């Protein structure tokens, strides 16, 4: 028995070593799930959300969010740009959005009441795209796998395990289960999202404004409950505001190159 345990430990150690990856931030990641498998999981979760009958019947607003998302997708790494991206508007008053592996994006109608212009909307969508490019969902699934609990999630088809899958992908609120990204993931997505904004020709300073609006919309000094595990809102605003001047050259270069989004 001891020999078997030693063999299994050695095999697991080898698997974990082989699964080391690097996030765009330079941080080491544990990735045990292939991008292809994550794309399939993202597509499955997206199909479930669409089948829930909550897609908004508003062609003008749908075109608007797709315009913003398309401008951001155009500056993603080449492998991501090659995907067939699908963007939907969801009838939900929560000021939220999500992006899934496999090129799936959902924006809640409630977000359009808080993100009052295209630049602020780009801050949220860019942030969600940052999660995808950083492979945060794959990292979280892998952490669950390493803890010997994700096999049920990956092989699940219905019920509670399906809801847990949505949570691992970052859209658990759609199914009544919320497993939020870690604060480290949120901070990484903030940095990438603001960079994508500038590179796409959106004003990077609008990211700080968006979060100010988010706090104001919640009634003052506290962020919405669903943001309780995110970085401290005031610290987040300060970081985004401090980063904006350094992104001005990227923004100016984008505008000079003709990347001037005009989403209405």
Torsion, Cα 44 90 163 144, to 10 degrees, reads: 70
Count the alpha carbons within 13 Å of 53 in the hemisphere toward its beta carbon: 0
| DSSP line for 181-242 | PPHHHHHHHHHHHHHHHHHHT--TTHHHHHHHHHHHHTTSSS--GGGTTSSPHHHHHHHHHH
Classify residue 53 as left (phi > 0), alpha (psi -120 to 50) or beta: left
Note whether 64 and 264 are within 8 A (CB): yes
Q: Say which of 86, 128, 139, 186 is annotated catalytic.
A: 128
* Percent of residues in the chain assigned helix, strand, coil, to nearest 5: 60, 10, 30
188 is catalytic: no
Catalytic residues: 128
């Amino acid at each position: 028995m001891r020999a078997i345990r030693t063999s299994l430990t050695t095999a697991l150690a080898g698997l974990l070593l082989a699964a080391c990856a690097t996030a765009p931030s330079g941080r080491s990641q544990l990735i045990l799930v292939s991008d292809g498998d994550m794309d399939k999981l993202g597509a499955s979760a997206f199909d479930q959300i669409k089948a829930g009958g909550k897609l908004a019947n508003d062609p003008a607003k749908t075109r608007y969010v797709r315009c913003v998302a398309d401008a951001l997708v155009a500056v993603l790494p080449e492998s991501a740009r090659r995907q067939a991206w699908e963007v939907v508007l969801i009838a939900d008053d929560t000021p939220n959005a999500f992006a899934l592996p496999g090129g799936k994006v959902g924006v809640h109608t409630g977000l359009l009441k808080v993100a009052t212009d295209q630049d602020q909307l780009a801050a949220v969508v860019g942030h969600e795209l940052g999660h995808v490019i950083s492979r945060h969902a794959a990292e979280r699934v892998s952490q669950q796998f390493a803890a010997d609990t994700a096999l049920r999630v990956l092989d699940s088809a219905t019920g509670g395990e399906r809801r847990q899958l949505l949570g691992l992908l970052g859209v658990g609120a759609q199914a009544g289960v919320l497993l939020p990204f870690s604060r480290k993931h949120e901070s990484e997505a903030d940095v990438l999202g603001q960079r994508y904004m500038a590179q796409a020709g959106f004003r990077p300073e609008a990211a700080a404004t968006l979060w100010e609006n988010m706090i104001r919309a919640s009634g003052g000094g506290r962020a919405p409950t669903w943001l309780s595990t995110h970085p401290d809102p005031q610290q987040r605003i300060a970081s985004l505001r401090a980063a904006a001047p350094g992104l001005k050259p990227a923004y100016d270069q984008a505008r000079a190159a003709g990347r001037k989004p005009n989403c209405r």
